[in-house]
Structure 1
Amino acid sequence: MINLVSMTNLIDNWVNPRGIKRILVVVLLLGLQLLIGGVVYFTGGTKFAYLHLMYFPIFLGSLLFGTLGGAVFGAAGGLILGPYMPIEVALMTMQPVENWTIRVVFFVIIGSLMGGVLELLVNYLKQINTITFYNTTTNLRNRKYFENTNFEGDKEYFLALLKIENYSKAISNLGYDVTSDIIKKFASKLTNIDDTIGGGEVFHFSDNQFAILLTQVSTEEVFKDLSRILRGTIKLEEAEFYPEISLGISGYTKDTIELIKKAEMARLFARKNLLDFYLFIPEVSQRDVMNFQLFSEMPRALKGKEFYLCFQPKVDVRSRRLEGAEVLIRWLHPDKGIIRPDEFIPYLETTTFINKITHWIIWESLKAINLFRREGIDINLSVNVPLKYIKNPAFISSLKGFSSLGLPLHKIEIEVLERDLIEDFTDIASAMREVKSYGPTFSLDDFGTGYSSVSYIKKLPFDKIKIDKMFVTDITTNRENRDIVRSSIELAHIMKVTALAEGVEDEEAFNILRDLGCDYIQGYYLSKPLRDREFIEWCKDPNSDFSL
C-alpha cells in the first residue's frame, strides 16, 4: 500500500540518482527518446503531432536531474527530431535548418525551466518531508514516520518505547541548551546499540520519548541489556546526567498505532510498578481498556447526573459533637450499577477531566452546606483535591467564582494526599496560601503512609492531619500501630495542627484515641457514608450518642 512514507522514500531514491542507478536512468531516458524518434519517423515525420511525445522524457529528465538534466535531455530530444528527421517522410522532405534549430533551443529552454521549477518543488517536498517525518533536534525519524511505516514479510518485530522521566527536572535545573545536548547524546547512544540488541531502527517520538523497532527475535536477556544500556550515565561538559527511564515493550502487530498503544501501556505499567521494563500482556490491555471505556462515559455521566455525593460524619472526640463530614463521590451507572470509586478515581486523576469533576464536587458541596444549614446543621465539609490541581489556574478561577457568589468557602476543607509527589514545596505553599485566602482550610490525608510526613506539615500550611486508617483499624490489638498513632497526634500538636483518625470502627478504638489526645475521628463507628437526606436524618437522630 502506497502511503506518505512510501512516496517520500520513492522521491528520495529516484531524484538525483547516483552510481549505477544514474547510468541506468540516463540510458533508459535516452532509449525512450530514440523510441519516440522512431514513432515520429514511422508516423510520417515532424509535420504530425507525435513529435510532442518528446516532452515526456524531457519532463522526466528535468524531474530526476534538475535544471541541467532538463537542458541536456531537451537538447538530445531536439537533435533526435532535428537534421536527420524529415518533415514529411512520404516525400522525404527534410526540415529547414532554422526549423529544427529553433525546436532544439525551445526544448532546451522548456527543459531548463521545467527542471528549475521541479527542482524547487522537489526540494520543498524534501523540506516538508524532513519537518513532517524527522525530529529537528536529533534528525531521527519521528512518530508520524513510524505510523506510516509498512511492515513487510513475516518477521517478528518488537517495539521498545521509552521515556526519560527526569527530563523536566533537567530542564528546570540545567536549562534547555544542556537538555538539548542530553537528548542528542542519548539519541547517539540509541543508534549505536545494534551489536547489543541484534539490530533495530531508532525513532524520536517527542522531546523525551524514543522508540526502537527491534527487527530480530528478541529475548528477555536482550531487553535486560537494553534497559541497562539506556540507564547509563550521559557525560556533559561540567556534569553527569543519570537518565531515569521507563521502558515498555510490545510484540509485533500489523497496525502501527496499535503497536504504539500496547508499548505505551507496558511502559506505564513498568513506571507504576517500578520495573526496569515490562513486556505487554493482554491483561494490562483489558484493564486499561476498561478504564478508558469508563472514562469515555464520564462526560455523559456528569451531564446526566449519574454522579452523586455521600457524606461521612466526623466528630469532636472530647465533646462528642459533630464537627463536619467528608464528601465522597459515587457513580450510579445505568447499566453497571454502583461503580466503586477505586475503579475510576485513580484513572480519572491522570486525565484533565479531573478539573471538571473537582469543580462539580466543590459546587455540590457548597450547595449541600446551604441545604444542611436550612435543616439546622452548620458543619464543615472536606473534599479531596489532587495536589497538582491546587496550582491549576482553573481551580483558582473556580474559587473566585464561588466567592463572588457569596458561597461559604470558609466551610470547605481541602484534603490532599501525602503520597502526591511534590517537587517544589515553595511553589505549592504559595498556591495553598492563595487558596486559603478565599476561605478554605487544608488537611493532609493518609498521614503516615508516605516518606515526607514531617516535611509536609512543616513546609506547607496545613490545618489538620488525617491519620491513615491502616494504623487505626487495629489500634486495640496492635501495640506498634498504637504508638505510631500516639506519635502522630503528638507531632500534630507540636506543629500546631489538629489530628483526625479515620477508620474508627468501635467504641474501644474511640476511647483509646480519646485517651491519646486525638481531636477528631471518622469511621464506621459513627456511620457509613450517607446521601444528603440520610445524613440529615442521622444528624437529627435523638437516640444518637453524638450531637450537633
Structure 2
Amino acid sequence: MRRLLSKAKFKTLSLLGLFSLVVTFIAITTSYLYAFWQISNEVRSDSEQLLNYVEHKLSVAGNSLEKLNKVEFTGCDNQGQERLEEFLFDHLGAGLFLIRHKDSAPWTYCSVVGNILISQRDRNPNSLIFLDESRTKVISVMGYDWQGLERRDLFVALEADDRINVVRIALEDSYSFFEDQCTDCRHVEVRLSNDDLIFELGEVKTGVLTELRVYSHEFPLYVDAVVGRKRVRAQMLNSLMLTTPISMVFALLCLYIFNLVKALHNSLGFQLKKAVKRRELIAYYQPIIDAKTGYVVGAEALVRWVKPDGSVEPPGRFIQVLEESDLINEVTLQLLKNIPIDLAEVLEQSPLFRCSINLVPQHLELPSFTEQLIELEKQGFPCEQLAIEITERLPLKNLRQARMNVEKMKALGVCIELDDAGTGYGGASYLQELNIDVMKIDKLFVDTLIVSPDKTQVLDANIQMAKSLGMQIIAEGVETSAQSEALVDKGVRFQQGYLFAKPLSTVEFIAFWHESHQAYIQQYDDTDMPDLYALKEE
C-alpha cells in the first residue's frame, strides 16, 4: 500500500513539475513575444513620427521655393545676398536658400554668404529624383563646401525660366525619442528612394532582431529602423510579472483549445475549404425546356459537392455556408471557366443555347468578377452564350455600382436574369435599375397552380409585368404536367424543373441534350431553333 501511495505521489509530483515547466516556458515565450510586439510598434510609431517631420519640412521648403521665384535676383553680389538673407529671415522654418542663374557656372549656387560649390562626386544628373511630371522640381542629397567645411545635406530645387531656386532642408540631428541612455539600442536611417542616405540616428551594438521600413506617401523617401535585442530583452523582464499568471491560465486552457481545433477541422466550413482546394465542387446542369417543342434551349449551372467516394452532398447542407464565405468567389470562377469545357459540344452545335450561373451580391457590387469576365472574353470565352442570375433573396447594398457592372457584362453579350422573382428584397427596384432581360418565376408561385389554382394573382401579375417590360420568362420548379400545361396557357413556354430533368452531371446532360436535339430536328426545321433570349414571345 505504501509503495502504491509512493508511486501515486511520484506521478503527481512529476505532473506538477511538467506543468511548472510548461507554464515557465509559456510565460517566457509570451513575455518575449509581447515585448517584441511592443518594441516593434514603438519603433514603427517613432519612424512614422520622424517621417511626418521630414515630410512637413519638405512641404514647407517646396512652398517657400515657389515664393522665392518672385524675389528679384540679378547676381550673387551684396544686393543679391541681402535679398536672400531677407527672404531667409521671413522663412526660417524652410532652410537655407540658394539661387543659380542658368548662365552662371554649373553646380555653383549663390547663398547668403556667397557662392557655394557642389561636390564633384554629386554632379551626376542621374542622382536627381523628379517630384513632378514637368520635371521642374527635384530632390537629392548632395555634398558641398560651406565656408571651408565639407557638408552633405538634403536639397530641393525648382527650375524657373532663367534660374534654379534651391533650398537646403535643415533637419535635426537628435529627437525626443532617442534618449541619451538608449542611443546604443536604437538606429534609424532616412533615405531617398534611390537609397541615398539623408541622415541617421543612434547605433545598435547588441544585435538586431528585425528591421522595419516605413515609406512616405508624399515624397520619394523612406525610413529604416531596427528592433534591437537589448530593448526587447529589457521589456521582456518587465512584463514577466504580468504574463506568468496569464500563462498559467493559458496552460490550463490548452486542452480546451485542442478540442476546439479538432472540432474546427470537423466543421462544415473547414471541410468546404478542403473540398474547394480539391475541386470537389463542380457544376451540375439543369435543362431549361421549351415546353411547346421539348427542345433544350438552355441550362442552369448548379454547384454540387461530389466527394471522393462518388457520393453527392445534398446542396441544402452547404449552399448557405458557401455563399456567406469568401469561397464563393473561387467556386463561381471555377464553375464559370468549366462551362465552355463541359458544354463544348452543345455550345458549338446550338449557337442560341445559353448557360446561366448564379451570382451573389458581392459579385455585382465589386468590380473584380466583371474584370475577370472581361479577361475571359479576351481569351475566347463565349460570353454571348452566358447568362447570369441575380437573386432577390439576398439584398444588393449598392445598386448604382451593381448597375455599372451589369452594363459592362451586357456589353460582352451576357444575358441578365432575375432569379426568385417576387420572393425577396429587390422587387421593382432590380427590374428598374439592373436592365433585366429574363424573369425567373419562383417555384413558390408555380406551386399555386395546383395547390391553390384560384390564388394565382401574384403569378399572373409577375407574368404580365415581365411581358409589359419586354422580358422573357422562365418558370422554375415545374414538377407536373398540369403545371406545365397551365403555364403554357398563360404564355410561359420556357420551363425548368423535375418534370423534365433534375440537375444532371456533364455526361448525363450531354446525353439528355442529344436526345432532345435529335427529336427536335426530326419534327421541326433545325434552322429555326427556339431562342429563349430573343426577348419577345411568339
Normalised to the residue count of structure 1, the TM-score between the two structures is 0.48
The structure carrying a bigger helix percent of its residues is 1
Normalised to the residue count of structure 2, the TM-score between the two structures is 0.49
The structure carrying a bigger strand percent of its residues is 2
